Amino acid sequence: MGNFSEKVFLQLDMPTDQDSVSDQLRIQDALVARGFEPVTVPLHIVRRLYPMCRDQGFQITATLVFREQDWVMVDVEPGDMRAHHYGLAVDLGSTTVVMELVDMTSGVVIDQAKEVNRQCAYGTDILSRITYSLEDAAHVLDLQRATVETFQRLLERLTESTGVPAGKCPVMILSGNTTMIHFLLGLNAWTVFAAPFAPVTTDPGWLWGHELGLDLSGMVYIIPSASNYIGGDIVSGLLKVGVHRREKTALFFDIGTNGELVVGNSEWMIAGAGAAGPALEGYISRYGMRAAPGAIDTVRIEGRDLSFTTIDGKPPVGICGSGIIDLLAQMYLNRWISSSGALDPQASDLIRYLPEEGQYAAVYATEAESATGAPLFFAQSDIYQYLDTKAAAHTMVDCILEMAGCTLEDLDHCYLSGAFSAHSDLGSAITIGMFPDLEHSRFTAIDNTSLEGARLLLLDRARLKEVRKLSRELYCVQFASVPDFLVRMQAAKFIPHTDLSLYPSVADKMKRPQ
């Protein structure tokens, strides 16, 4: 159908004594004749019409944004500027914010920029940030300001790298979870977490960039949430993977600090969410880190020996989420740890007792290998913490399938979203029991479905109907209402699970001679 913004070149007659129609109405009439109706021209645009239109002989480019009920003029430029048409797609994550500059004519992504969400200064997890906001009313503004500063830095970086003034883009499509949107809007997000779990807003709609404090002359559309825990990032992700367009049942699992799941098909869909924890992004253990140069991202063990790779081939400074999952899977398959995760000091010289820690640890980079000259290790307590995280992920899948009346055999496909899923070894994730033991061909891992869905919407305004339908008709459940959720989690804390029949491929690997 077309983009959310359109640049329209107009060549209009100059006013005369016989044709004294106002500049604004002259432009609006011409746009209506082109099929843009109705057209709203805000005051700050009206103020720019004179003398520019007359100086240019009324050869101007009007930039319009589709606002569902109308087209709003967000810019007017001298001459034909149709070749300079860009838009922005944004994923507002709790840990990382990603922004793309998109050529609206070709649909090509010109550049992408990432920044750590500056909200992290007020807490690495969302609940810490909400607690901070409750301490003082001014703290809500601190979180809003931190979010805007992150956006501003991204706009600056895109401008620097491309030469395109990103702040002059006519439209930004933004997706994020319900809490992140509350922080962006300067709203108290406690309503998201407190009974009766009724957010202040789930559909902020269209806002001017300056209303948010952004140096953005255009408009921002925030993809609506379906509930307090099923945010616009999941609605956007569904737009990308298309569970709602499939005849056969599929599972969509967006896993990061939180885990959100949707199971269903074109006839029905059920969604649920729960806390997964910072472990999947590397934020556990003394040397856990984000995926960055020098982070160990893959691990292999042969008998008593361990090898690894790092991002960009740099000397190791820590280990990220994909490295951790490899480490656990490899330690289990080589019997360095038991099914409960307990380390066996007899299995390798790399399993050492650390007096200062008061526990055993697996050294994955020795003093000679690490960039710091100190050994990098994963302690016994780290293992147990990670198993809590993987147990939560497994149990969420287990529960939502039961709520939907489905079994694993009913799943035609599984879509995994998030940097952890996209960059981790699927076999390792199945080995430790995080994901179901299904054929690898039934999985598709995508780095950031939230961002990709926002871009899809940016380039095709007709998809807004799907977004509206998803946000209003998605049936959301609470895992807290499952009476035996914690009992199921206890069983899932073992590798791969206490019920080995759920993981036949892993059981088969363990039968092989070491």
Residues 471, 255, 94, 424: what is their CA dihedral angle, to the nearest 10 degrees? Answer: -140
Residues 6+ apart with CB under 8 A from 195: none
Please state, rounded to an integer, the average pLDDT across all residues of the chain.
93
In the sheet that holds 269-275, the strands lie side by side as 443-446, 413-417, 250-255, 258-264, 269-275, 475-478
Nearest to residue 341, comparing CAs of 170, 202, 494?
494
Q: What is the model's pLDDT at position 281?
A: 52
Query: Which tokens hold the place of 276?
Result: 């997964």
Q: Which of helix, strand or coil describes residue 98? A: strand
Q: What is the model's pLDDT at position 279?
A: 47
Nearest to residue 189, comparing CAs of 272, 235, 99, 128?
128
Side chain identity, residue 295: A
Nearest to residue 327, comparing CAs of 356, 354, 361?
361
Q: What is the model's pLDDT at position 513?
A: 66
Our measurement of the distance from residue 407's CA atom to the centroid of its chain's CA atoms, rounded to an integer in Å, reads 27
Neighbours of 59 (CB within 10 A): 13
Counted residue by residue, the chain has a size of: 514
Buried b (16+ CB within 10 A) or exposed e, 25-36: ebbbebbeeeeb
| CA-CA-CA-CA torsion sign (248, 275, 113, 220) | positive
**Strand partners for 253:** 261, 416
Q: What is the model's pLDDT at position 278?
A: 52
User: In sequence order, which ranges of 361-437 are alpha helices (DSSP H)?
Assistant: 380-404, 419-423, 426-431
**pTM to 2 decimals?**
0.91
Query: Which tokens hold the place of 81?
Result: 């500027």
Q: What is the model's pLDDT at position 481?
A: 74
| CA-CA-CA-CA torsion sign (417, 422, 423, 426) | positive
Measured CA to CA, the distance from residue 220 to residue 169 in angstroms comes to 10
Query: Which tokens hold the place of 338?
Result: 């038991």
Phi and psi dihedrals of 359, rounded to 5? -160, 165
Q: What is the model's pLDDT at position 479?
A: 79
Beta strands in 197-249 (DSSP E): 205-208, 219-222
Measured CA to CA, the distance from residue 309 to residue 299 in angstroms comes to 7
Residues 6+ apart with CB under 8 A from 507: 500, 501
Which regions of the chain are under pLDDT 50? 279, 282
Nearest to residue 130, comparing CAs of 148, 142, 113?
142
CB 425 within 8 A of CB 446: no
Q: What fold does the segment set 86-222 form as a domain?
A: Nucleotidyltransferase; domain 5 (3.30.420)
Residues of the chain with CATH 3.10.20.880: 5-78
CATH number of 5-78: 3.10.20.880
Measured CA to CA, the distance from residue 268 to residue 246 in angstroms comes to 10
Residues of the chain with CATH 3.30.420.480: 86-222
Residues 6+ apart with CB under 8 A from 201: 181, 182, 185, 187
CB 113 within 8 A of CB 103: no
Q: What fold does the segment set 242-277+388-509 form as a domain?
A: Nucleotidyltransferase; domain 5 (3.30.420)
Rg (alpha carbons) of the chain, rounded to whole number: 26
Query: Which tokens hold the place of 401?
Result: 């399938």
Q: What is the model's pLDDT at position 485?
A: 82
Residues 368, 372, 373, 374: what is their CA dihedral angle, to the nearest 10 degrees? Answer: -100
